[in-house]
Amino acid sequence: MNDLAASQATSDELLAELTRLGIDATTVEHPALHTVEESQALRGEIPGAHVKNLFVRDRKGRIFLLVVEETAKIDLKRVHERIGGSGRVSFGSAELLEAVLGVKPGAVTPLGAINDRERRATIVLDAGLMSAETISVHPLVNTRTTTLARDGLLRFLSAVGHDPMILAIVD
């Protein structure tokens, strides 16, 4: 990680970091995907639970990345009660997203924690999602999908200083 400290990691650098950490991951290249609906067209090719990521902030400016199964419905009017936020959450801006996680809208991913060296974001993984053995996420870009074991994701987040909250975000 030392060589990545000065700038935001690229997708290739992220994948190299997974390898360095001994985390098995398989990455598939594909056309740019911007929505869950677009990504669902690849289901036959890419295994694992697929995610939806919501980059939000609460009334006091605390930042959260909510990671849930792609079809989950999140009650944005009440999710703050579950995650310990102050008042209702709202979506963070594209500029804040890029500054904190180093990704653009459409490529939001828990793997973006590699770029959050100031630990500004709290990563919240839905307990239901974490029952899956493998999880598929974007590796900082929306032209690739990386599948890794649930435990590999947890080990990666810990290695980059983001021990996530795991709780039931959705019913």
For the chain, what is the HEC assignment?
A: CHHHCCCCCCHHHHHHHHHHCCCCEEEEECCCCCCHHHHHCCCCCCCCEEEEEEEEECCCCCEEEEEEECCCCCCCCCHHHHHCCCCCCEECCHHHHHHHHCCCCCCCCHHHHHHCCCCCEEEEEECCHHHCCEEEECCCCCCEEEEEEHHHHHHHHHHCCCCCEEECCCC
The answer to whether residue 67 scores a pLDDT higher than 90 is yes
- Output 3 or 71, whichever has higher pLDDT: 71
Higher pLDDT, 40 or 93: 93
Confidence of residue 9 (pLDDT cuts 50, 70, 90): very high
Q: Domain 2-167 maps to which CATH number in 2.30.40.10, 3.90.960.10, 1.10.10.60, 1.20.1250.20?
A: 3.90.960.10
pLDDT at position 5: 45
pLDDT of residue 46: 75
Predicted model pTM? 0.90
Given a cut of 50, whether residue 115 has pLDDT beyond it is yes
Rounded CA gap, 39 and 148, in Å? 17
Q: What is the pLDDT of residues 14-59, one digit of tens each?
A: 999 999 999 999 999 887 866 666 666 665 667 789 899 999 999 9
End-to-end CA distance of the chain: 37
Q: Which two tokens stand for residue 80?
A: 């703050």
- What average pLDDT does range 99-113 have in this prediction? 95
pLDDT of residue 1: 45
Mean pLDDT computed over 101-120: 96
- Residue-level pLDDT at 171: 77
Q: What does the domain layout of the chain look like in residue ranges? A: 2-167
Q: Quick: pLDDT tens for 116-159.
A: 999 999 999 999 999 999 999 999 999 999 999 999 999 999 99
**Across residues 68-91, what is the average pLDDT?**
94
pLDDT of residue 2: 41
pLDDT score for 61: 95
